[in-house]
């Protein structure tokens, strides 16, 4: 009888064997020798192909990083026995470092490779449970004046998590004095709670280009605090209620199974990256890149050979159809194109096919606050939605397992999507992230941007086999 640990080792040996056999095939077909030299372009391409396949097998937990790097190092060493190629350019003597793949993002520390984790998996000692976290949407604005600085501070939410208590804020400043340093004189704000406690404040921006960030409270407030009074310089005092209460039943977070394997989840993320790249290109936020598509056929073959992609899976055919509809060729997927594309993909394709006019530029914010159920050891807290010009920004925090000094960069991230009250879908694209203790601060763009008439959004985060979500009312201000 095979125990779970034995099965994992067997699967990982199978993946390593596959990668080594692929290396042997590549060595035989890397390209013809011409005048005693190897083509630089062909050699770079074969190394890149091997790297993408290795990244895919790592991402689905079929192979660990050390084994993949060993195979790539052996492959690069074998190439050094070939004649030199190109004037003054030798073959590589070591495998290139594994880069971030299009389906990987370095903001989470996930459970260790091979561990079975899902909704409700255990947390490290000393971490707070979701029940201990306190989140409250606010939707208040406080105005201040000081030393030529005239501004408005929009309070999106209050949260108290493992890394402390804070207000998530967006700001508007109408003064040239804001050009240097912090736009908020947080050291001049007075804050008192319902128990008479007073607090110092510190301001931290999101790290990106958007006017959104956090005002941290020092010391940490008591668990049962009910309200705070904020006393801004040159403005009226504002009392804000931070008692979260219970959400209505139709707004409670949910968990459901997706039925996808790890390989199918990975291919879905590849589709999302292609759609997001196209939306970014047309919105002039970033140039379009089809580069990963060149190795998708190799990735699909590797996932199928190692058992992480079912032989009857419809996803390769759906992915082939998506590329065909977007005019992207050279992906190498041999499955015939399918016609039953997932609804989120169709929604984004329809948006692009309509060739809509640029959305009207407008600024506003919606106060939201919700914690999604834990998924694969990661918990997301949604803390604010902003409309800034023609962009929609989703601000959230993520907490995960592990105490590593640096976030892991070889694990599967969650796919984050939103569906609005009109039934249209929006892909979430990471714009900026930063680490704060055992949590990560994330700023994401929703693509395409939310329409001004959206009454609510349903935010969903998907991992292999399961997804979690919550419906959030949007009261734009």
Q: What is the pLDDT of residue 114?
A: 28
Phi, psi of 281 (to 5 degrees): -65, -45
Segment 326-344 shows an average pLDDT of: 91
Mean pLDDT of the chain: 78
Token pair of 57 as six digits:
């097998």
* C-alpha distance across the termini of the chain, in Å: 61
Phi-psi region of 147 (alpha: psi -120 to 50; beta: other; left: phi over 0): left
C-alpha dist (Å) from residue 237 to 127, 144, 170, 193, 231: 35, 10, 18, 13, 5
Q: What is the pLDDT of residue 158?
A: 94
Q: What is the pLDDT of residue 55?
A: 86
- CATH architecture of the region 134-245: Sandwich (2.60)
Q: Specify the higher pLDDT residue, 27 or 186.
A: 27
**H or E element at residue 73:** helix 65-79
Residue 301 has pLDDT above 80, yes or no: yes
- Asked if 219 and 199 touch (Cβ cutoff 8 Å), the reply is yes
User: Around Cβ 198, how many Cβ atoms within 10 Å?
Assistant: 9
Nearest to 121 by CA among 112, 113, 131, 111: 111
Segment 116-135 shows an average pLDDT of: 50
pLDDT digits (tens, 9 = 90+) for 184-215: 777 788 999 999 999 999 888 876 778 888 99
Residue 315 has pLDDT above 60, yes or no: yes
Read off the pTM: 0.82
Segment 42-59 shows an average pLDDT of: 83
pLDDT digits (tens, 9 = 90+) for 82-102: 554 444 444 343 444 444 443
Helix residue ranges per DSSP H, 242-284: 262-282
Domain ranges of the chain: 4-79, 134-245
Q: At what angle do helices 262-282 and 40-59 cross, to 10 degrees?
A: 120
Q: Are strands 190-193 and 164-173 parallel, antiparallel or unpaired?
A: unpaired
pLDDT digits (tens, 9 = 90+) for 440-471: 888 999 999 998 889 999 999 998 889 999 99
Residues 6+ apart with CB under 8 A from 462: 258, 260, 265, 268, 414, 415, 416, 417
Q: What is the pLDDT of residue 292?
A: 55
Q: Specify the higher pLDDT residue, 40 or 301.
A: 301
- Asked if 196 and 434 touch (Cβ cutoff 8 Å), the reply is no
- Asked if 117 and 109 touch (Cβ cutoff 8 Å), the reply is no
Least reliable range by pLDDT among 165-169, 305-309, 369-373, 405-409? 405-409
């Amino acid at each position: 009888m095979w125990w779970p640990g034995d099965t994992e080792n067997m699967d990982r040996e199978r993946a390593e064997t596959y990668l080594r056999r692929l290396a042997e095939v590549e060595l035989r077909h890397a390209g013809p020798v011409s005048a005693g030299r190897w083509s630089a372009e062909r050699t770079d391409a074969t190394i890149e192909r091997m790297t993408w396949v290795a990244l895919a097998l790592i991402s689905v937990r079929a192979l660990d990083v050390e084994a993949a790097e060993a195979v790539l190092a052996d492959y690069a060493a074998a190439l050094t026995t070939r004649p030199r190629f190109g004037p003054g350019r030798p073959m590589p003597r070591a495998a290139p470092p594994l880069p971030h793949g299009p389906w990987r993002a370095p903001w989470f520390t996930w459970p260790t490779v091979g561990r079975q984790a899902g909704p409700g998996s255990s947390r490290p000692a000393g971490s707070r449970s979701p029940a201990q976290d306190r989140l409250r949407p606010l939707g208040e604005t406080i105005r201040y004046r000081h030393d030529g600085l005239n501004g408005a501070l929009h309070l999106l939410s209050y949260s108290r998590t493992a890394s402390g208590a804070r207000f998530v804020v967006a700001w508007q400043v109408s003064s040239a004095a804001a050009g240097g340093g912090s736009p908020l004189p947080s050291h001049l704000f007075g804050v008192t709670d319902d128990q008479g406690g007073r607090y110092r404040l510190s301001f931290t921006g999101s790290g990106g280009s958007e006017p959104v960030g956090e005002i941290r409270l020092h010391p940490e407030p008591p668990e049962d605090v009910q309200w705070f009074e904020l006393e801004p310089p040159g403005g009226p005092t504002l009392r804000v209620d931070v008692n979260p209460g219970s959400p209505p039943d139709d707004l409670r977070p949910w968990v459901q199974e997706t039925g996808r394997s790890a390989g199918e989840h990975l291919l879905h993320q590849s589709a999302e990256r292609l759609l997001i790249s196209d939306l970014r290109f047309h919105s002039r936020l970033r140039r379009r890149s089809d580069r990963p598509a060149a190795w998708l056929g190799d990735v699909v073959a590797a996932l199928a050979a190692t058992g992480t992609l079912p032989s009857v899976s419809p996803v390769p055919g759906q992915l082939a159809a998506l590329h065909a509809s977007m005019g992207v060729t050279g992906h190498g997927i041999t499955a015939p194109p399918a016609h039953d594309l997932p609804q989120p993909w169709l929604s984004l394709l329809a948006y692009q096919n309509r060739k809509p006019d640029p959305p009207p530029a407008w600024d506003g914010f919606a106060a939201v606050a919700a914690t999604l159920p834990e998924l694969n050891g990661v918990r997301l807290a949604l803390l604010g939605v902003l409309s800034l010009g023609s962009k929609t920004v989703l601000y959230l925090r993520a907490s995960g397992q592990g105490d590593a000094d640096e976030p892991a960069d070889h694990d599967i991230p969650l796919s984050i999507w939103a569906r609005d009250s009109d039934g249209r879908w929006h892909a979430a694209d990471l714009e900026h992230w930063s680490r704060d203790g055992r949590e990560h601060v994330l700023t994401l763009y929703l693509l395409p941007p939310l329409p001004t008439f959206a009454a609510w959004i349903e935010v969903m985060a998907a991992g292999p086999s399961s997804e979690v979500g919550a419906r959030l009312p949007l009261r734009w201000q």
